Amino acid sequence: MVCLVTILLILYVFFDVNYFLRIFLTLGWGRLFQKKTKVFDPTCIYGICTTQDVDLFLKHMNNARYLRELDFARFHYYDRSGIYGEIRRRGGGAVQGASSTRYRRALGILTPYKVTTKLIYWEDKNFYLEHEFISLTDNFIRAVVLSKQTVTGLKDPVSELIAKVEPGAQRPELNPDLKLWMESMEESSKKLKKQN
């Protein structure tokens, strides 16, 4: 018994065990109790702002936790839509290329919420997701996050992956706020290239 407690203690000290447990629970719950979705259907995960999520003043969720929650939301979306399965089948991977968060109102401690995720656009090697943090007590959108997912290790364009997962899917029109964010990232990239 002492050996088991020691091993668990070592795991908790050197690894974020709760993170890995949450990933497995989120994916397991989706696979057992939720249907596969189409690529444009929004997916949804649930959470509650606990004492481990709050900021220094112990009142509301800290900024880092929003991004952590997006990992769970993305993995859930990837799994339910079949996109990541197709990427892996082709020997590739996907990484977070960028994100932009707009906080509208704080998520208070012990507030239950949901995070919705939907595909809003794609281009050659990237696809773009929009996430909304919505408090369940008042159905208010507390934060909106745009995230850029970059496909790695593949020669195939993202459009080919999407067509395989959902034949006939058409790329959505580029909405104004995403267009401006993409332009901003391009300008930042140009500036950094000049510095190097």
For 73-89, what is the mean pLDDT? 95
DSSP per residue over the chain, as a string?
Answer: -HHHHHHHHHHHHHS-HHHHHHHHHHHHHHHHHS----TTS-EEEEEE--TTTB-TTSSBB-HHHHHHHHHHHHHHHHHHHSHHHHHHHTT-EEEEEEEEEEE-S--BTT-EEEEEEEEEEE-SSEEEEEEEEEETTT--EEEEEEEEEEEES-SS-HHHHHHHHSTT--PPPPPHHHHHHHHHHHHHHHHHHHH-
Band (44; pLDDT cuts 50, 70, 90): very high
Q: What is the pLDDT of residue 99?
A: 96
- Report residue 194's pLDDT band, with 50, 70 and 90 as the boundaries: confident
What pLDDT, on a 0 to 100 scale, did the predictor assign at position 3? 87
The predicted structure's pLDDT at residue 34: 94
Q: What is the mean pLDDT of residues 63-72?
A: 95
Averaged pLDDT, 20-34: 94
Is 161 within 8 Å of 90 (Cβ atoms)?
yes
pLDDT mean over 143-156: 95
What's the mean pLDDT in 51-63? 91
Look up residue 30 and give its amino acid.
G
Q: What is the pLDDT of residue 131?
A: 98
**pLDDT the model gives residue 156:** 86
Is residue 45 within 8 A of residue 171, CB to CB? The reply is no
pLDDT of 159 over the 90 cut? yes
- Mean pLDDT for all residues in the chain: 94
Sign of CA dihedral 92, 93, 97, 100: positive
Average confidence (pLDDT) over 99-126: 96
Whether the predicted pLDDT of 4 surpasses 80? yes
